[in-house]
């Protein structure tokens, strides 16, 4: 059962990745692209956790944790750049 | 005092005068004098033993694998030169204190002088030819600083450059010659080489080694045809000329010839090259000196001539000639230094050293007249002065030397040389001091104070003393020095004034009388000379340099024209050509490794990477879009590291990615949003084809490497096996960084620190320049919306800050055994701090910063250094790590490794460097008129309405 759930979840996030890729490349506004990249990072964190579960190792959770902790900083920086130009005022 | 200390004393002491100048010029001179005096005392303490015939050694292995040992030796030859270097050095220091102008940076002068003194002392005390070369090059460099001391004078700078070029090229030849010599003798230690005369002279490499060494020696000692740099170097202050160009530096070449005399001399090659060069130099120098109107130029050419004389004597190859050479080295140093100092006094007091503007000074400057006349008479070879003795002995040697079967060639030319020497010496006296008193001196000439005349007076006293009582004053020193030069037993010689009626006496008389006659005919001779072609050596040298510069410029401009795509093209084509050649000629082994299956998930990652990269190439004109797509690439690279079981790299990549994006966004703020299109479509197609070819080639190469086994076992097995036992950590990546390759990491953090400091320094100078003002005035290139410091972001980053710091500490502490370490921890903490900069603003963050980032870098590097040095103290090589297990209740048993101290250094350095760089760059965006806000948030509901700031 868990294997099935894992496969389903992995499939969903994988498709999610492709969709966010599409949105990053083809988008009407820069904000769309930044949001798409942010979503891509979240999908990737989810995939890392799933990968850790399937590999039966906790080692990968920390990478996921660190990416989660610092990954949003880039998103904020992109957003600040679009809004204000200068990211450290 | 051990010899190494004596040799190093001037180097160590060189900082003293530079520091003491703050306490005044006299204090600076005192400190320089004290250092010299200390070294002189050290030498004098060894003098009795050396005069008894002992040789003092000091041995220290430096780089034994290269044959480079810090071996020092003091024998008679070293003693004579050390006494000249330090004794005359001391006099020069006193003289310079009163000679230099109030505007001249005296601390610098003494600092350079001591550096030079140390280098010279090193040459004469070295017992290892490689060590000798090191000091030899140091004399070239330090004399460059001294000759160019008056930086405002173009001729000073040109003269310094020319001296450095000529002696530097000679030094290069010397290195080659010395290496050959060491190769033949099988050792680089002089004491061994000096015993290997037969082996060396029988070797087929003897002649090449001899020629290379002689090029080095002749350039240094200004022998024909390299003599032209010495007159140009006269732009130096007079104390420098007196020191370098009479007593020390130009004698370094003579010293080396004398030092290697036992093994190199005695062959026809030696005789014809050295003696002939010496003879030609003696004649050209003397004739040059006679017609120079600048006092110092006259003395410079006379030095060239006298050095030629000594070179010729060494070239004769007989032991007696070597004795005379040694004696003349001593005599020349005394009278020539005195003459230079006299010229300096005249220049100082009369305001000019142009002989045509001088004359009649004997009444105005009686003391200087006395000193100058005695020294010049000695140079001319007038009896009862030391120059007479050695010149007489030289003539005696020359009288029975046969050159290519001719018995007259050398005696006649040497007499002619002595005659012209006498003429220019007399001219120095007659045209400066004698003659009618003039009314148009630039200054009112008068005798100088004690400080200026003391040094030349002391030297002239020596000139007279040696001249009258040669055997008593100079006898023992000359004997012991000569026996060191000739390598043992000496011929009978006596230093006496009267040798009876000999051919030499006749030649001496002819020279003196002829010199006076020649001077009487000076005016018509000068007119004759003016009609002849002038000295062209400088013009030829300048022409050669100009050609070299043109070639170098052309090459640089051709290769390095600033077009990035051209460099990339050259690089890609080179790689492609090399790869095609390798593919065509080499053979790859059969594929021995099976391909791994490709599950769908990595395939999706691959699709993302390729799509993002291709999109960047197609849309790179939109800079922000390119940056967002780079974010995708970075993300995929970090998860790829996870997929291939490299969590350390994944953590590093993820954090570096964030810092990179912030850095690039900060920079992008100063750039236009889009970049223009450049180049034709045809060129784009061509470049694309080349790029695809190279990329495909690299991919194919990777594929081949990945599907075949390595030719050798990779080192990773060793690392895995020894990580725990040797480095005390289970995390091999971290153990490699802080232990196996700790020295590498140590270098890298230093480079990182330097890079951050350079960014800081560049940005600081940018801000202070007009560009800084333009940056401050620049208007945003598009509208700004929203708050600069929104409430939501401030709150979020405040919450994350302690968590991030905790994660940083955790990652750092466990780094030795599990993924993590100082580098990643440094980046995580840096990001945590950067979040505060972004959310609450630069001013708010900086006002809460307690410790400067430069300090963090410094402490980091010092911590790492101390960890390394601690293993020295414990008796192990640098950076050897050790570890142990400790239990502190109620904690579990934990491990502490010294590598952790090193890792702490890495952590601090990374944190400091990242923060300093980003902090500095974000300062560039500060606009004029922005006031620092006392509040972190622009809109804060907890503040009263009136205090809201949007």
CA distances to B94, B422, B425 from B430, rounded to whole Å, are: 29, 12, 9
The average confidence (pLDDT) of chain B is: 86
pLDDT at B643: 87
CB-based contact B658 A60, cutoff 8 Å: no
Selected for mutation to probe chain B from A74, A79, A80, A82 (highest B CB count within 10 Å) is A74
From A30, A66, A80, residue closest to B828, measured CB to CB: A66
**Is B805 an interface residue toward A (CB < 8 Å)?**
no
Residues of chain A with Cβ-Cβ distance to B669 below 8 Å are 81, 85-87
| B562 burial type by CB count under 10 A (0-12 exposed, 13-18 middle, 19+ buried) | exposed
For range B38-62, the mean pLDDT: 87
- Could you say which DSSP state residue B727 is in? I
From A69, A76, A85, residue closest to B669, measured CB to CB: A85
- Following CA atoms B623, B626, B631, B636 in sequence, which dihedral angle do they give, to the nearest 10 degrees? -170
Q: How confident is the model over B368-377, as pLDDT tens digits?
A: 899 999 999 9
Q: How confident is the model over B10-34, as pLDDT tens digits?
A: 999 888 888 888 888 888 889 899 9
Q: How confident is the model over B924-946, as pLDDT tens digits?
A: 888 777 777 777 787 777 777 76
Query: What secondary structure does DSSP assign to B756-823, as a single string?
Result: HHHHHHHHHHHHHSHHHHHHHHPPPSS---S-SS-HHHHHHHHHHHHHHHHHHHHHHHHTTTSS--HH
For range B589-602, the mean pLDDT: 84
Taking CB atoms within 8 Å and a gap of at least 24, the contacts of B510-514 are B510/B415, B510/B419, B511/B381, B511/B415, B511/B418, B511/B419, B511/B421, B511/B422, B512/B380, B512/B381, B512/B382, B512/B422, B514/B419, B514/B422, B514/B423
Q: How confident is the model over A47-77, as pLDDT tens digits?
A: 999 988 988 888 788 889 888 988 889 999 9
| Residue B949 scores a pLDDT above 60 | no
pLDDT at B665: 92
Residues of chain B with Cβ-Cβ distance to A34 below 8 Å are 628
CB-based contact A30 B835, cutoff 8 Å: no
Domain regions of chain B by residue span: 1-259, 265-520, 729-950
Percent of chain A exceeding pLDDT 90 equals: 49
**CB B787 within 8 Å of CB A89:** no
Residues of chain B with Cβ-Cβ distance to A89 below 8 Å are 788-789, 841-842, 925
Q: How many Cβ atoms sit within 10 Å of the Cβ of residue B603?
A: 11
Pairing type for strands B68-69 and B61-63 reads antiparallel
pLDDT at B664: 92
For range B626-644, the mean pLDDT: 91
Q: How confident is the model over B175-219, as pLDDT tens digits?
A: 999 999 988 888 888 888 888 888 888 888 889 999 999 999 999
| Residue B535 scores a pLDDT above 70 | no
**CB B135 within 8 Å of CB B126:** yes
| Residue B715 scores a pLDDT above 60 | yes
From A33, A63, A88, residue closest to B647, measured CB to CB: A63
Residues of chain B with Cβ-Cβ distance to A47 below 8 Å are 601, 639
pLDDT at B656: 93
Q: How close, in Å, is residue B766 to chain A by CA atoms? A: 19
> Which ranges in B186-316 belong to alpha helices (H)?
190-193, 197-202, 206-220, 229-232, 238-242, 249-264, 268-270, 276-290, 295-316
Chain B stretch 806-845, residues whose beta carbon is closer than 8 A to a beta carbon of chain A = 807, 811, 818-819, 828, 831, 834-835, 837-838, 841-842
pLDDT at B782: 65
Chain A stretch 20-49, residues whose beta carbon is closer than 8 A to a beta carbon of chain B = 21, 24-25, 30, 33-34, 37, 40-41, 44, 47-48
- Beta-carbon contacts of B574 under 8 Å, excluding residues fewer than 6 positions away, are none
Q: Backbone phi, then psi, for B448, in 5-degree steps?
A: -80, 175
| Cα B392 to Cα B383: distance, rounded to the nearest angstrom | 9
| Residue B761 scores a pLDDT above 90 | yes
Percent of chain B exceeding pLDDT 70 equals: 99
pLDDT at B783: 66
| Cα B623 to Cα B629: distance, rounded to the nearest angstrom | 10
| Residue B304 scores a pLDDT above 60 | yes
pLDDT at B947: 65
| Residue A88 scores a pLDDT above 90 | no
pLDDT at B172: 93
Of B274, B281, B269, B271, the C-alpha closest to B225 is B281
| Residue B515 scores a pLDDT above 90 | no
Residues of chain B with Cβ-Cβ distance to A81 below 8 Å are 624, 665, 668-669
Q: How confident is the model over B227-268, as pLDDT tens digits?
A: 888 888 888 888 888 888 887 888 899 999 999 988 888 888
| Cα B34 to Cα B448: distance, rounded to the nearest angstrom | 24
pLDDT at B472: 78
Where is B894: in which H helix or E strand? strand B894-897
Residues of chain A with Cβ-Cβ distance to B841 below 8 Å are 88-89
Of B840, B828, B831, the C-alpha closest to B787 is B840
Q: How many Cβ atoms sit within 10 Å of the Cβ of residue B699?
A: 10
Mean pLDDT is lowest, of A42-56, B299-313, B782-796, for: B782-796
Residue of B nearest to A13 (CA): B601
pLDDT at B836: 92
CB-based contact A71 B658, cutoff 8 Å: yes
| Residue B549 scores a pLDDT above 70 | yes
**CB B432 within 8 Å of CB B370:** no
From B608, B647, B793, residue closest to A76, measured CB to CB: B793
From B651, B665, B835, residue closest to A81, measured CB to CB: B665
- Beta-carbon contacts of B370 under 8 Å, excluding residues fewer than 6 positions away, are B460
Of B841, B845, B832, B753, the C-alpha closest to B800 is B832
Q: How confident is the model over B842-889, as pLDDT tens digits?
A: 888 888 888 899 999 999 999 999 988 888 887 777 777 777 787 877
The pLDDT confidence band at residue B320, using thresholds 50, 70 and 90, is confident
| Residue B781 scores a pLDDT above 70 | no
B140: tokens are 């070239």
Residues of chain A with Cβ-Cβ distance to B651 below 8 Å are 62-63, 66
CB-based contact A67 B638, cutoff 8 Å: yes
pLDDT at B757: 94
For range B725-747, the mean pLDDT: 84
CB-based contact A66 B655, cutoff 8 Å: yes
The pLDDT confidence band at residue A21, using thresholds 50, 70 and 90, is very high
In which residue are the tokens 């020696």 written?
Answer: B217
Instruction: Give this prediction's pTM.
Output: 0.71
**CB B195 within 8 Å of CB B252:** no
For range B494-504, the mean pLDDT: 74
**Is A59 an interface residue toward B (CB < 8 Å)?**
yes
Q: How close, in Å, is residue A64 to chain B by CA atoms? A: 9
pLDDT at B447: 81
Chain B stretch 442-481, residues whose beta carbon is closer than 8 A to a beta carbon of chain A = none
Residue of B nearest to A11 (CA): B601
| Residue B510 scores a pLDDT above 60 | yes
Q: How close, in Å, is residue B684 to chain A by CA atoms? A: 22
B752 or B407: which carries more pLDDT confidence?
A: B752
- CA B873, B879, B885, B889 dihedral sign is positive
Chain B stretch 756-785, residues whose beta carbon is closer than 8 A to a beta carbon of chain A = 780-782, 784-785
Q: How close, in Å, is residue B180 to chain A by CA atoms? A: 60
Q: How confident is the model over B638-690, as pLDDT tens digits?
A: 999 988 888 889 999 999 999 999 999 998 888 888 888 887 889 889 999 99
pLDDT at A43: 93
Domain regions of chain A by residue span: 2-84
CA distances to B135, B192, B267, B484 from B55, rounded to whole Å, are: 21, 14, 27, 9
| Cα A85 to Cα A89: distance, rounded to the nearest angstrom | 10
Q: How close, in Å, is residue A63 to chain B by CA atoms? A: 6
Q: How close, in Å, is residue A37 to chain B by CA atoms? A: 7
3-state helix, strand, coil in chain A (%, to 5): 85, 0, 15
HSE, CB side, 13 Å, CA atoms: give it for residue B76. Answer: 24
pLDDT at B874: 79
Q: Backbone phi, then psi, for B838, in 5-degree steps?
A: -70, -40
For range B551-573, the mean pLDDT: 87
Residues of chain B with Cβ-Cβ distance to A10 below 8 Å are 601
Q: How confident is the model over B406-444, as pLDDT tens digits?
A: 888 888 888 888 888 888 898 888 888 888 887 777 877
């Amino acid at each position: 059962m868990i294997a099935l759930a894992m496969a389903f979840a992995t499939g969903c996030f994988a498709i999610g990745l492709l969709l966010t890729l599409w949105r990053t490349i083809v988008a009407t506004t820069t904000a769309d692209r930044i949001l798409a990249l942010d979503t891509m990072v979240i999908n990737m964190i989810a995939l890392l956790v799933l990968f850790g579960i399937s590999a039966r190792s906790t080692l990968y959770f920390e990478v996921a944790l660190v990416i989660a902790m610092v990954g949003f900083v880039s998103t904020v920086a992109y957003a600040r750049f679009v809004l204000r130009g200068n990211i450290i005022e | 005092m051990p010899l190494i200390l004596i040799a190093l004393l001037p180097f160590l002491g060189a900082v003293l005068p530079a520091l003491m100048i703050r306490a005044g010029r006299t204090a600076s001179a005192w400190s320089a004098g004290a250092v010299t005096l200390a070294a002189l005392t050290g030498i004098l303490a060894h003098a009795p033993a050396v005069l008894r015939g002992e040789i003092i050694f000091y041995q220290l292995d430096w780089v034994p694998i290269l044959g480079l040992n810090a071996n020092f030796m003091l024998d008679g030859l070293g003693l004579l030169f050390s006494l000249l270097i330090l004794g005359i050095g001391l006099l020069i220091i006193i003289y310079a204190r009163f000679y230099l102008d109030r505007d001249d940076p005296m601390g610098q002068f003494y600092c350079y002088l001591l550096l030079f003194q140390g280098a010279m002392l090193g040459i004469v005390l070295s017992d290892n030819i490689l060590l000798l070369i090191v000091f030899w090059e140091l004399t070239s460099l330090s004399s460059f600083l001294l000759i160019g001391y008056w930086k405002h004078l173009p001729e000073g700078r040109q003269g310094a450059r020319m001296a450095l070029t000529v002696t530097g090229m000679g030094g290069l030849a010397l290195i080659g010659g010395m290496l050959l010599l060491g190769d033949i003798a099988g050792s680089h230690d002089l004491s061994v080489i000096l015993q290997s005369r037969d082996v060396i002279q029988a070797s087929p490499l003897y002649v090449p080694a001899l020629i290379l060494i002689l090029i080095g020696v002749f350039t240094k000692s200004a022998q024909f045809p390299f003599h032209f740099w010495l007159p140009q170097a006269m732009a130096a202050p007079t104390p420098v000329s007196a020191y370098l160009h009479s007593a020390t530096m130009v004698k370094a070449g003579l010293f080396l010839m004398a030092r290697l005399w036992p093994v190199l001399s005695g062959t026809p090659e030696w005789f014809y090259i050295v003696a002939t060069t010496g003879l030609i130099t003696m004649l050209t120098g003397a004739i040059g000196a006679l017609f120079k109107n600048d006092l110092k130029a006259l003395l410079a050419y006379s030095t060239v001539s006298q050095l030629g004389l000594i070179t010729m004597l060494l070239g004769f190859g007989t032991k007696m000639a070597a004795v005379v050479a040694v004696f003349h080295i001593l005599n020349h140093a005394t009278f020539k230094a005195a003459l230079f100092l006299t010229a300096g006094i005249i220049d100082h007091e009369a305001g000019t050293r142009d002989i045509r503007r001088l004359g009649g000074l004997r009444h105005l400057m009686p003391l200087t007249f006395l000193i100058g006349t005695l020294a010049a008479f000695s140079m001319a070879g007038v009896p009862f002065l030391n120059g007479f003795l050695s010149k007489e002995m030289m003539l005696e040697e020359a009288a029975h030397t046969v050159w290519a079967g001719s018995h007259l060639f050398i005696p006649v030319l040497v007499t002619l040389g002595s005659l012209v020497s006498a003429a220019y010496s007399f001219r120095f006296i007659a045209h400066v001091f004698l003659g009618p008193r003039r009314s148009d001196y630039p200054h009112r000439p008068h005798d100088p104070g004690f400080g200026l005349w003391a040094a030349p007076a002391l030297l002239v006293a020596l000139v007279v003393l040696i001249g009258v009582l040669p055997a008593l004053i100079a006898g023992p020193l000359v004997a012991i020095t000569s026996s060191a030069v000739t390598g043992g037993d000496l011929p009978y010689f006596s230093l006496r004034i009267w040798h009876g009626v000999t051919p030499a006496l006749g030649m001496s008389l002819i020279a003196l009388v002829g010199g006076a006659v020649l001077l009487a005919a000076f005016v018509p001779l000068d007119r004759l000379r003016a009609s002849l072609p002038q000295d062209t050596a400088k013009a030829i040298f300048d022409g050669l340099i100009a050609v070299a510069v043109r070639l170098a410029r052309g090459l640089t401009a051709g290769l390095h024209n600033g077009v990035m795509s051209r460099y990339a093209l050259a690089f890609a084509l080179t790689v492609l050509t090399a790869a095609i050649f390798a593919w065509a000629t080499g053979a790859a082994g059969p594929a021995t490794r099976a391909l791994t299956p490709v599950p769908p998930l990595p395939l999706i990652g691959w699709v993302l990477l390729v799509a993002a990269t291709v999109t960047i190439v197609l849309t790179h004109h939109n800079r922000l879009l390119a940056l967002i797509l780079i974010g995708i690439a970075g993300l995929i690279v970090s998860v790829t590291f996870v997929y291939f079981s490299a969590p350390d790299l994944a953590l590093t990549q993820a954090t570096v990615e964030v810092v990179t994006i912030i850095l690039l966004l900060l920079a992008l703020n100063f750039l236009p949003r889009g970049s223009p299109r450049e180049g034709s479509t045809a060129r784009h197609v061509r470049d694309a084809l080349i790029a695809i070819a190279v990329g495909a080639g690299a991919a194919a190469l990777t594929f081949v490497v990945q599907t075949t086994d390595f030719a050798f076992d990779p080192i990773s097995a060793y690392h895995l096996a020894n990580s725990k036992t040797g480095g005390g950590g289970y995390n091999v990546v971290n153990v490699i960084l802080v232990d196996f390759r700790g020295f590498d990491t140590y270098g890298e953090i230093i480079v990182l620190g330097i890079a951050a400091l350079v960014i800081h320094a560049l940005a600081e100078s940018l801000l202070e320049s007009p560009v800084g003002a333009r940056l401050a005035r620049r208007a945003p290139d598009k509208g700004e919306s929203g708050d600069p410091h929104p409430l939501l972001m401030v709150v979020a980053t405040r919450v994350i800050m302690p968590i991030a710091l905790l994660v940083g500490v955790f990652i750092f502490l466990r780094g030795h055994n599990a993924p993590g370490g100082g580098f990643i921890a440094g980046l995580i903490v840096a990001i945590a701090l950067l979040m505060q900069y972004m959310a609450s603003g630069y001013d708010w963050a900086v006002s809460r910063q307690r410790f400067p980032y430069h300090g963090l870098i410094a402490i980091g590097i010092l911590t790492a250094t101390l960890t390394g040095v601690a293993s020295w103290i414990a008796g192990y090589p640098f950076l050897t790590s050790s570890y142990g297990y400790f239990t502190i209740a109620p904690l579990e048993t934990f491990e502490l490794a010294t590598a952790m101290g090193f890792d702490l250094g890495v952590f601090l350095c990374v944190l400091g460097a990242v923060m300093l760089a980003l902090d500095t760059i974000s300062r560039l965006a500060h606009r004029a008129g922005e006031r620092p806000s006392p509040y972190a948030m622009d809109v804060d509901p907890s503040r009263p309405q009136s205090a809201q700031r949007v």
